[in-house]
Chain A
C-alpha cells in the first residue's frame, strides 16, 4: 500500500471506532517531590549513575582538576565549547564531516541545567558544532552553572518550554551496558566517563 493509502486506512479505522475517554490530566505540582538541597541530590544521583560531580568556585579550577586526571593529561585531541574552562586543540566548527571527529579523546560540552532527581544534565544540541561530539569522544566533561538546577523532570520540561527544530538530550552518567550477564560496564559506545563541573 502506498503511504497515502496507508495513512487513510489507519485514520479511517481509528475514526470509525469512537472511544470515550477522560480529558487529559494535569499534574498537580504539590504532589511532586522537590529537594531542599538539589545540588547535593544531583551529586548523589550522578555518582549513582556512574558520573562524577565537581563543585568549583572559579572556572579555572576545571583545568586544574582535569589536569590531575591521567586520561586527560594524556589526551591528544580535545574539543571544547567552553573555552573559558578548557581551550581545546580541535576546532570542531571547522570540521564539515562528523566522521572526522571519531578520534576525539575529550569533549568539553556545556549543560543548560541539571535535574536533581536523576543526575541528568540537559544539553542543547545547538551549543555544539556537531551533535556527535557528545557521543563519539572517549571522555566527556560537561560544564554547567550551579544555579541552573531543577528538582524533577516536570520542572525540567517546563524549563525547556516549546522546543525549536533541533536536538536536545538529557545525559545521565557515562555510556553503559549490562547486556552481558547483568554485569555493569561503563563505556559501551559513548563516553567511558562523565565529569560534570558545577561552576558559579
Chain B
C-alpha cells in the first residue's frame, strides 16, 4: 500500500482513454448499468423521498456515531458476537490474522469487501502463509490475474470475456479460446465449490450494521457470502464504522436504494441478516474499522462522504470514469467518491483526482444518499491550492487571469491582441503540441470585433 509512485490521472488514464475501442466498450458497459438504474429509480414514485430520508438518517448517524457504535457493540455482544475495534488498516489485519491463528486456520474464503481491499488484507494474510480465496466471481477473476478490482461493485468490468477465458484456461483448465460467459461462470462455480467446502473460516464485508439490534446485513447476488460463512464455524465480518444504521427499520430505506442504484435490480438476490453466531459452537467476529473515517468526520466540508453505501452509481454515471477505467485512479475506491475520499488519506499522492472531473454534477444527482460529490471535488481543489499542492503551471495562469479580469481596459486590449494574433498567425503556430486545447480541437475563429466593441458602436 502506498508504494506506487505518484502518477497523475491524465498520465495514468492515457493508455485506456486513447485505446478508443476499449474505452468505448467500457463506457457502453457502464452506461448500460446506469440505464438499468434509471429504470428502477423511475419505477419507485417515492425515489426522491427515499434519497432524502437516507441522507437524513446518515447525517444523524455520523453526527452521533460514538453513541451508536457503543449501542451496536452492546447489542451485538448480547447476540453472542465478538466485537473488535481497529483504528487503522494494520490493526484490522492483525486482528483478523489473530483470529485465524487462534483457530490454526490456513485457508479462508472471502466475499467482496472493499474494506479488506482498502486494508490490503489479502497480501497481509498471504505473506503470513494463509491461502485467501476471493469468492465473488469478479474478484476471483482479478485475483487470478493478480490485478485489483477496477470498480467496487463490478470488480472485473474492465476485463473482456476473452481475457477471462484465457485466465480460466490457465488456472481452471477451461477450453482454450472459450469465452462464453455461461460456460466460464459454470467453470468458476465448480472451481469455487471446492474452495467453499475447504474454507476453514469465512470473511465477509458488511453492508449495514444495525445499532438497535446488534445485527449485520450482507448483500450479494451470487450467494457467495452466505455459502462462505454457513459452512465453516467461524465468520469474520469486517465493517467500516460508517456502515452503521441506528434502527432495524432503517434497513427498509437502504435496501430499497442500494441494489437499484448499484445494478438496477430491485434488491440483491440475497440480503442476509446475521444476529449473532450460527449456534453455540460457532463464532461471529465483527471487526469495526476506523482507518481515517473519524478524521474525515471532523471535516465539515467532507463529512458527508461518510454517507456512502458503496453502490457504485457515481462510477457508472461518471463520464470520466467510464472512459478512463477504474485503475486510472490508483485507489481502492475509484470514481467520484474515490476522488473525494482518497485525497483525505493522502492529498499529495491523490492531488490530481479532484481535477479528473468536468464538474458535470451527474454523480451528485445519482447518489442515493445525496452526497454533494461534485461540490466536494470542487472543495478539494480549493483545499489543494490552499495546501500549495498544485504546480505553478496551474496556479500562475489563474493569477494572471485574475489580474486581467480586474482591469477591464487591459482585458479588452488583451482580447483584441489575442484575436488579432489568432487571425494572423499561421495555423501551425497556434495549433501545436504546446497548446493542449488544439491537440484535438480547433481554436474558435476570432471575430474582428468583440461584443463590447460592437456595443460601443451600435448602442453607445
A interface residue numbers (CB < 8 A to B): 1, 3-4, 6-7, 9-11, 13-15, 17, 19-25, 27, 31-33, 45, 48-49, 98-99, 102, 115, 117-120, 130-132, 134-136, 152-154, 156-158, 160, 162-183, 185, 187-191
Contacts and interface: CB of A to CB of B under 8 A. Distances in A.
B417 interface: no
13 contacts: A14-B65, A17-B298, A24-B246, A102-B193, A157-B249, A169-B226, A177-B185, A179-B136, A179-B156, A181-B160, A185-B182, A189-B189, A189-B224
B209 interface: no
Looking at A45, A49, A119, A152, the one whose CB has the most chain B CB atoms below 10 A away is A49
Nearest to B73: A7
B230 A130 contact: yes
B273 interface: yes
B154 A179 contact: yes
Contact of A21 (B59, B79, B154, B230): B59
A167 B273 contact: yes
Contacts of B247: 24
A124 B57 CA distance: 27
A49 B221 CA distance: 10
B60 A22 contact: yes
A99 B270 CA distance: 21
Given A10-B87, A22-B60, A180-B137, A190 B226 contact: yes
A6 B85 contact: yes
B192 interface: yes
Contacts of B222: 175-177, 188-190
Interface of B: 29, 32-33, 44-46, 49, 53, 56-57, 59-60, 62-66, 69-70, 79-80, 84-88, 91, 95, 135-138, 141, 154-157, 160-161, 164, 181-182, 184-186, 189, 192-193, 196-197, 213, 215, 221-224, 226-227, 230-231, 241, 246-249, 251-253, 255-256, 263, 265-276, 278, 288, 290, 294-295, 297-298, 303
Nearest to A9: B87
A49 B192 CA distance: 23
A32 B288 CA distance: 33
B189 A98 contact: no
Contacts of A183: 161, 181-182
A175 B252 contact: no
B275 A167 contact: yes
Contact of A165 (B63, B275, B298): B275
B137 A3 contact: no
Contacts of A165: 79-80, 275-276
Given A1-B91, A49-B265, A163-B213, A132 B56 contact: no
Contacts of B135: 189
